[in-house]
Amino acid sequence: MQKLKPQGTKIIVQTILQEDKVGEAGIIAVDFTLDKGEIVEVGTDVEHLYKVGDIVLFPTGVGHSLNYQKKSCKWLDGRSFPNGDIWAKSYEND
């Protein structure tokens, strides 16, 4: 299987499907503004910011879709918003 090394500020992420949240009253809250993705490849200019496995948040609809290593992924600009596609890096508690 071919492996890619993104150049510049590009990163490849596999989108993580987010589950709907159900509130106490049974109301389903869906967040449509930001998608979550796990980084699978990091570009040369952003290696100091990210590593493979990091979780990032980015606006729905940005980037270019591609199949990479038999996974549905997105090719994003790894710079922070407004110059790039990344809004945040997630530090979830395990």
Mean pLDDT by 10 residues, the chain (94 residues): 89 84 67 85 96 94 91 94 92 64
| Per-residue DSSP letter, 86 | B
Burial class (CB in 10 A: 0-12, 13-18, 19+), 83: exposed
| pTM (2 d.p.) | 0.80
pLDDT at res. 84: 94
Token pair in block for residue 13: 């992420």
The number of beta carbons lying within 10 Å of the beta carbon of residue 78 is 24
